[in-house]
Amino acid sequence: MEFSDTYKHTGPCCFSPDARYLAIAVDYRLVIRDVVTLKVVQLYSCMDKISNIEWALDSEYILCGLYKRAMVQAWSLSQPEWTCKIDEGPAGIAHARWSPDSRHIITTSDFQLRLTVWSLVNTACIHIQWPKHASKGVSFTQDGKFAAIATRRDCKDYVNLLSCHTWEVMGTFTVDTIDLADLEWSPNDSAIVVWDSPLEYKVLIYSPDGRCLFKYQAYDSWLGVKTVAWSPCSQFLAVGSYDQTLRTLNHLTWKPFAEFVHVSTVRGPASAVVFKEVEEPWHLDVSGLHLNDDSAHDIQDGKPGLLAWSRDSQYLFTRNDNMPTALWIWDICRLELAALLIQKEPIRAAAWDPVYPRVALCTGSSHLYMWTPSGACCVNIPLPQFVVSDLKWNPDGTSMLLKDRESFCCTFVPMLPEFNDDETNEE
């Protein structure tokens, strides 16, 4: 693996959807770099420190959220002289995002008073009252034609379905939640999953016309749902709970077909491979691998447990917050544990390769860890005083962004040999 030099950042960094550019916030400036050469392509000056960056899906436009000023600025890569400024004034801006057509910006005001859709085509704006959340509670279909927006009024939660062409409300239905936590369209756009706050275990599957297809409740009288994730193939729904169990539901009956428990002592299956990070590899005693929760308090920012699917929907990884140094990788085809990665320090971030079944993770050290079905490896980062606290994959899987507190670098990741050989044989 090759590593670039380090560059300064003071905030968010993200790849463009077309995998050609990298956007970096440096104080008041937005720096656009070429992914391959890392040379500066564009440089924009904003009116305040950048809180958030988001690319439009066509990679033509990019917005910067200046939330301290209740302002959003947008820029065009192909037309450097073009600019857009949205100022909400006293209403404030808590979050901003792009619509799927890349020609509308959606902002949520402070205290969730309203959600506003701003058009870059004709400068029109449309208001939706009482959105449930600032950054959550909004989901778009894969084809970009419809949006589901969670709202709350009269002490009830609602889901509003809007057309992304006219932004008219196509329908509204109530949901059976006490305090809706979030919602998400299935990847095939056939269903919407809604789940309740941790105080009430409730996962609800709705059809786009508002019919409740299934209501799932694993237990009562305890903290409930922590994380929910659709598989890319839309056939499975993974639900992580506070009882340290991962449950997977199928798309035919919406009932659970597998439960994966995060136990402190792993006794099987025999095919599971355990990788443990040690300082003296030649003196490793594998007679008893035991997980403990001594470092549970080290979880950064109290983030919820990690849960993500591989691109081919065959694997998913989890990190139980009671055991933050362990990454569990489950095989959905065999319904068993495929691998367990035990690190010395709590796992800060983990992400799947967008192309291959490969996981990259970091622990706030000078090492980058990777797993594939063929095995695991640890890569030393040859940069002085650089520790990886966060990472992001380029959408085409050829490179990764590695972030330290005030600097970042890029690493260029080789293709997996076993998958490269398969593709060559097919050709």
Whether 281 has a pLDDT exceeding 80, the answer reads: no
Q: 3-state DSSP call for residue 272? A: coil
User: What is the DSSP code string of 281-307?
Assistant: GGG---S--B---TTGGG-GGGPPPEE
- How would you class 290 by CB atoms within 10 Å of its CB: exposed for 0-12, middle for 13-18, buried for 19 or more? exposed
Mean pLDDT of all residues in 126-151: 97
Q: Reduced to 3 states, what is the DSSP secondary structure of residue 89?
A: helix
297 — pLDDT class (breaks 50, 70, 90): very low
pLDDT of 271: 85
Q: Is 270 helix (H, G, I), strand (E, B) or coil?
A: coil
Residue 307 pLDDT more than 90? yes
Q: Is the dihedral of CA 173, 174, 180, 185 positive or negative?
A: negative
Secondary structure (3-state) at 149? strand
CB-based burial of residue 389 (10 Å sphere; 0-12 exposed, 13-18 middle, 19+ buried)? middle
Sign of CA dihedral 200, 218, 228, 255: negative
Could you report the per-residue pLDDT of 367-417, keeping only the tens digit for each? 999 999 999 999 999 999 999 999 999 999 999 999 999 999 999 998 877
Q: In what side-by-side order are the strands of the sheet with 225-230?
A: 225-230, 236-241, 245-250, 256-261
**C-alpha neighbours within 13 Å on the C-beta side of residue 146:** 21
> For residue 138, is pLDDT > 50?
yes
pTM over 0.75, yes/no? yes
pLDDT at 427: 45
Do residues 184 and 230 make contact, with C-beta atoms less than 8 angstroms apart?
Answer: yes
How high is the pLDDT of residue 265?
Answer: 84
DSSP string, 343-398: -SS---EEEE-SSSS-EEEE-SSSEEEEEETTEEEEEE--STT---SEEEE-TTSS
Which whole number is the average pLDDT over 138-145? 97
User: What is the residue type of 424?
Assistant: T
